[in-house]
C-alpha cells in the first residue's frame, strides 16, 4: 500500500529562536519564539522547516522521566508535570512499566487559540533549491539570515542561543554547495547542483557522512549500502565503465571487485564456490493457488489456551497466524511466544516467575551503563561510539509514527535505553546502525521496556549475522537468493546477470532489516509475525524477495532496464508494495518449488527441506550376486547416502 508522501528527517535541532520584536534580534525574553528547526526529505525534495514549539501535538501522554526511572504524565500544552508515579516490580527497580498516549483534551478558550495562532504564524518551510545565501552574524550568540530567491519570501532570522548553528550549516552542505562570498566573511553563497551527484560525492568522500569505502562500514552497513546503491549509483557505475565503454559489459571479476569495494565484507567470489550446483532450466509446473484468511482474533487465541494458561495445539495456531496474522489486540501477548521470550508450554504462573527474573536481569544490565561516569566513558571508546550512534539513530527512527513523533517523546527515551542496554548484553556486537529499525516495531507493540528488550534480544538472535563485521549472513542470503531466482526464472536471472545485477545487491536493504523500509509500519507488523511462525519453510523471507522480483520482472525486462535503472526501480518500490499480495505469491512459490520431483539439493538445503530419501535396499534374498557384492557393505551405503544428501550450496 502506498503512502501519499514519504517524509524523512535528515536533521533536527530544538531550541532555535525567532525574535519577533526586531529583525536584528531583541533581548526581551517574553518576546522570543522557541521552535524546532529541521531539514527533511519529502517526495525527493530537501526542505528546511521551522515549527514553533507550541505547534507540536499537545496530546497528554504517559512518558519516561529524563532519568528513565519513572513514569509521569506530561501535558505539552502547559509544559507542566501533572502526575508522577513510581511503578516497579520490586522496590529496588524503579522502572517504566508502560508508555501509552492519552486523548488530547480540547479547550475552547479564545485566549489559548489566539496564542497558538500568534505563534503558528512564525512557522515556515522552503525548498533548499530556493536558498540563495546565508549571512552569519554574532551577538553573544550566532544567528543566521536566510535569503531566498526573489519569488519567495525570506524567513525571519534564526537565533541559536543554545548553539547548533554550525551543525545546521554542516548538514546543509550535504545537499548543497556552500561557499564564502568574495570579499564577505559573513556571507555564504548557496547553490544546488544536481542533487544526486552532490550526495554521491558527499557520501563517497566525506568520512563524517558514512563514506562508502571507509572503515566505519561495520558501524553503518545500512546507511553505507543505501548510499552506495541508491545515491551513488550513477557516479560509481559511470566512472567504472567510462563514457567510451557504456555499451560494453565488464568482465565479471571487475564487477565483483567494484561491488566488493562498495560493500566491504561482502566479496562474493565470481568463481563457483566449492560444491556449488549449476541449476539448469527446470519445469516447476503450475503455481498452485493460495488463499489467506482474517487475522487471529482474541477469542480464537483464547481457545488455544488451557485452564493454566498453556498454549495448546501450537502447530495449528502457528498455521493460522501464518495464514492471517494477528489482530493488534493480541500482538503484545502473542509476539512473546513467537519470539521465544515465553515458552509455548509455560503456565501463567511460570511466566510470572520468568518475567520477574528477566526484569531483574534487564535492570542490572541497564545499571551498568547508567552508572558509568563521564570520566569512565572518556576512557571507553567503544561505549562512546555506541552511544553516539544510538543517539543519532534514535532521533531519526520512525519519527513520523505517532509513537515516536514530537519533541521529548517517551518512545525515543525507551528506544535509546533499550539499545544502550543491548550493548551491555552483547559486548562483542554492541550497536550497529539499522538495529533501531528492528527494535522500533517491537517497542511499539510491547509498550514496555523489559518486554521489548527481551523480544528484541530474540529477534537479534535471528538477525545477528546480518550485523557482524564479516557480514557472512548477508553474503549467504544473497547467494541463496540468487540460487532460488535461478531456479524459478532462469531467463530473468540471465537478464539480470547481463546487466551486471546478478549479484542481487539491490535486495540488500530488504534482507538487512527484513523489509522494514519497504512497507508501511502496520504492514511490517503483519509481515514479521507471519515470518516468526517459521512456516512454511526456513528462509521464507527469500521467497518474499522472489515474489517481489516476480511481480517486477516484466517491467524490468520490457523496459530493458540496465544496472542504474534496476537499482532506481527497486528503491522506488518502497511504500508501494501490497503485503497480502506478496505473502500470497511467496507461499505459492514455496508450494510450487516443493512439488518439484527432482528438486536440486541446494534448494532443499536453503528452504530446510530434506532431500528425498533413497529407496530402501532390496532384501538380501533378492539381490543378484554381483550387486550384492557391491551393496552389502554398510560403509558403502553410508557413503552413498552421504554423497546424495550433501548440500550443493555451501554457506
Residues 154, 158: Cα–Cα separation, whole Å: 11
> Lowest-confidence range among 131-135, 233-237, 471-475, 616-620?
233-237
**Among the listed residues 370, 315, 548, 358, the one whose alpha carbon sits nearest the alpha carbon of residue 449:** 358
Confidence of residue 220 (pLDDT cuts 50, 70, 90): very low
Is 485 within 8 Å of 546 (Cβ atoms)?
A: yes
- Model confidence over 378-437: pLDDT tens digits? 999 999 999 999 999 999 999 999 899 887 789 999 999 999 999 999 999 999 989 999
Is 514 within 8 Å of 438 (Cβ atoms)?
A: yes
Q: Which three cell numbers stand for residue 124?
A: 515556515
Task: Please count the CA atoms within 13 angstroms of the CA of 636 that sit on its side-chain side.
Answer: 8
Is 86 within 8 Å of 70 (Cβ atoms)?
A: yes
- Model confidence over 43-87: pLDDT tens digits? 778 899 998 875 434 333 333 434 443 333 333 333 333 333 334
Query: How does DSSP classify residue 70?
Result: -
Q: In angstroms, what is the C-alpha Rg of the chain? A: 29
pTM of the model: 0.61
First to last CA, the chain: 35
Q: What is the pLDDT of residue 613?
A: 58
pLDDT at 182 over 60: yes
Query: How does DSSP classify residue 500?
Result: T
> Lowest-confidence range among 111-120, 214-223, 510-519, 605-614?
214-223
Residues 193, 459: Cα–Cα separation, whole Å: 42
Sign of CA dihedral 446, 450, 451, 453: positive
Query: How does DSSP classify residue 278?
Result: P
pLDDT at 102 over 70: no
Peptide bond preceding 93 in cis form (omega within 30 of 0): no
Confidence of residue 189 (pLDDT cuts 50, 70, 90): confident
Is 126 within 8 Å of 47 (Cβ atoms)?
A: yes
Confidence of residue 369 (pLDDT cuts 50, 70, 90): very high
Is 433 within 8 Å of 209 (Cβ atoms)?
A: no
The residues with which 556 forms a beta bridge, in sequence order, are none
Confidence of residue 95 (pLDDT cuts 50, 70, 90): very low
Q: Which residue has the cell 532462469?
A: 490
597 compared with 332, residue with greater pLDDT: 332
Confidence of residue 290 (pLDDT cuts 50, 70, 90): very high
Q: Which three cell numbers stand for residue 590?
A: 514455496
Q: Sheet containing 61-64: which strands, arranged edge to edge? A: 61-64, 71-75, 80-85
- Model confidence over 334-348: pLDDT tens digits? 999 999 999 999 999
Residues 393, 389: Cα–Cα separation, whole Å: 6
Residues 216, 556: Cα–Cα separation, whole Å: 34
Q: What is the pLDDT of residue 378?
A: 92
The predicted model gives 202-209 an average pLDDT of: 36
Amino acid at each position: 500500500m502506498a503512502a501519499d508522501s514519504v517524509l524523512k528527517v535528515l536533521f533536527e535541532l530544538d531550541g532555535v529562536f525567532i525574535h519577533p520584536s526586531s529583525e536584528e534580534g531583541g533581548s526581551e525574553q517574553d518576546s522570543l519564539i522557541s521552535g524546532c528547526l529541521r531539514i527533511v526529505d519529502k517526495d525527493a525534495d530537501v526542505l528546511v522547516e521551522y515549527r514553533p514549539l507550541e505547534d507540536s501535538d499537545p496530546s497528554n501522554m504517559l512518558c519516561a522521566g529524563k532519568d528513565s526511572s519513572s513514569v509521569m504524565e506530561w501535558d505539552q500544552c502547559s509544559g507542566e508535570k501533572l502526575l508522577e508515579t513510581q511503578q516497579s516490580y520490586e522496590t529496588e527497580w524503579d522502572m517504566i512499566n508502560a508508555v501509552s498516549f492519552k486523548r488530547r483534551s480540547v479547550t475552547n478558550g479564545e485566549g489559548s487559540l489566539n496564542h497558538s495562532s500568534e505563534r503558528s504564524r512564525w512557522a515556515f518551510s522552503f525548498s533548499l533549491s530556493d536558498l540563495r545565501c546565508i549571512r552569519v552574524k554574532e551577538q553573544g550568540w550566532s544567528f543566521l539570515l536566510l535569503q531566498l530567491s526573489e519569488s519567495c519570501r525570506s524567513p525571519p532570522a534564526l537565533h541559536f542561543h543554545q548553539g547548533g548553528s554550525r551543525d545546521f550549516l554542516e548538514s546543509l552542505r550535504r545537499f548543497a554547495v556552500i561557499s564564502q562570498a568574495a570579499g564577505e566573511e559573513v556571507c555564504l553563497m548557496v547553490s544546488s547542483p544536481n542533487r544526486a551527484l552532490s550526495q554521491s560525492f558527499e557520501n563517497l568522500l566525506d568520512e563524517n557522512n558514512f563514506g562508502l569505502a571507509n572503515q566505519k562500514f561495520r558501524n553503518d552497513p545500512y546507511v553505507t549500502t543505501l548510499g552506495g546503491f541508491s545515491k551513488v549509483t550513477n557516479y560509481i557505475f559511470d566512472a567504472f565503465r567510462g563514457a567510451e565503454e557504456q555499451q560494453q559489459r565488464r568482465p565479471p571479476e571487475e564487477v565483483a571487485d567494484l561491488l566488493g569495494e562498495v560493500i566491504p565484507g561482502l566479496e562474493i567470489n565470481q568463481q563457483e564456490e566449492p560444491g556449488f550446483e549449476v541449476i539448469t532450466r527446470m519445469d516447476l509446473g503450475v503455481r498452485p493457488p493460495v488463499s489467506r484468511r482474517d487475522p487471529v482474533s482474541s477469542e480464537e487465541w483464547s481457545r488455544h489456551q488451557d485452564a493454566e494458561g498453556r498454549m495448546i495445539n501450537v502447530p495449528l495456531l502457528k498455521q493460522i497466524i501464518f495464514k492471517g496474522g494477528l489482530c493488534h489486540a493480541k500482538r503484545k501477548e502473542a509476539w512473546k511466544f513467537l519470539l521465544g521470550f515465553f515458552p509455548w508450554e509455560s503456565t501463567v504462573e511460570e511466566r510470572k516467575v520468568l518475567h520477574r527474573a528477566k526484569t531483574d536481569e534487564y535492570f542490572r544490565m541497564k545499571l551498568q551503563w547508567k552508572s558509568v561516569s563521564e570520566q569512565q566513558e572518556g576512557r571507553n571508546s567503544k561505549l562512546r561510539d555506541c552511544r553516539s550512534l544510538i543517539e543519532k539513530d534514535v532521533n531519526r527512527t520512525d519519527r513520523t509514527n505517532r509513537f515516536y513523533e514530537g519533541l521529548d517523546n517517551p518512545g525515543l527515551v525507551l528506544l535509546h535505553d533499550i539499545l544502550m542496554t543491548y550493548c551491555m548484553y552483547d559486548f562483542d556486537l554492541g550497536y550497529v546502525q539499522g538495529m533501531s529499525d528492528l527494535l522500533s516495531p517491537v517497542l511499539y507493540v510491547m509498550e514496555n521496556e523489559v518486554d521489548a528488550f527481551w523480544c528484541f534480544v530474540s529477534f537479534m538472535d535471528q538477525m545477528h549475522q546480518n550485523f557482524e563485521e564479516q557480514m557472512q549472513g548477508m553474503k549467504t542470503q544473497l547467494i541463496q537468493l540468487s540460487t532460488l531466482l535461478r531456479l524459478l526464472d532462469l531467463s530473468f536471472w540471465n537478464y539480470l546477470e547481463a546487466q551486471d545485477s546478478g549479484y542481487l545487491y539491490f535486495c540488500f536493504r530488504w534482507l538487512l532489516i527484513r523489509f522494514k523500509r519497504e512497507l508501511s509500519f502496520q504492514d511490517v507488523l503483519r509481515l514479521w509475525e507471519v515470518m516468526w511462525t517459521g512456516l512454511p519453510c526456513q528462509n521464507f523471507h527469500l521467497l518474499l524477495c522472489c515474489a517481489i522480483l516476480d511481480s517486477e520482472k516484466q517491467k524490468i525486462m520490457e523496459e530493458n532496464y540496465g544496472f542504474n535503472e534496476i537499482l532506481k526501480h527497486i528503491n522506488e518500490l518502497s511504500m508501494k508494495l501490497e503485503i497480502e499480495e506478496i505473502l500470497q505469491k511467496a507461499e505459492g512459490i514455496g508450494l510450487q518449488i516443493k512439488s518439484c520431483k527432482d528438486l536440486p539439493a541446494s534448494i532443499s538445503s536453503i528452504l530446510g527441506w530434506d532431500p528425498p530419501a533413497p529407496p530402501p535396499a532390496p532384501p538380501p534374498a533378492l539381490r543378484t550376486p554381483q550387486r550384492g557384492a557391491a551393496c552389502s557393505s554398510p560403509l558403502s551405503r553410508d557413503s552413498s547416502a552421504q554423497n546424495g544428501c550433501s548440500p550443493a550450496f555451501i554457506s
